Amino acid sequence: MGQTSMGAGAGQPRPVPAAGQPFTSRRLVPPPCAGFSSAFWSAYHELIPRAPGFEEREQIYLLYHYLNHLNLFGDSYYGQCANILSRLTR
């Protein structure tokens, strides 16, 4: 199950609809600063193979991360956003 919140007055956790289980690939697309090694990714994908479309979804998830940072921290993230958008729209 995804994240939960406390129900109004009941004291029982309830599911939060927007916090469901994402694709395995989404869970494992870390922010670029996480610094996982290529050996880590090789071992991970031996256990859990990439689903069809993984590479494109990975770029979309990274774009989401960079767009959030562009919104929060300003223009220094514009270049990364523009590069990913350019690759996705070719």
Tell me the pLDDT tens digit for each residue of 18-72.
445 455 555 555 555 567 788 888 888 898 888 888 888 888 888 988 999 999 9
**Does the model's pTM come out above 0.95?**
no
C-beta of residue 47 within 8 angstroms of C-beta of residue 28:
no
Structure tokens at 87: 């690759």
Q: Where are the domains of the chain?
A: 53-90
Report how far residue 6's alpha carbon sits from residue 73's, in angstroms, rounded to the nearest whole number.
Answer: 32
CA dihedral 40, 41, 47, 51 (to 10 degrees): 170
User: What burial class does residue 25 get, using C-beta atoms within 10 Å of its C-beta: 0-12 exposed, 13-18 middle, 19+ buried?
Assistant: middle
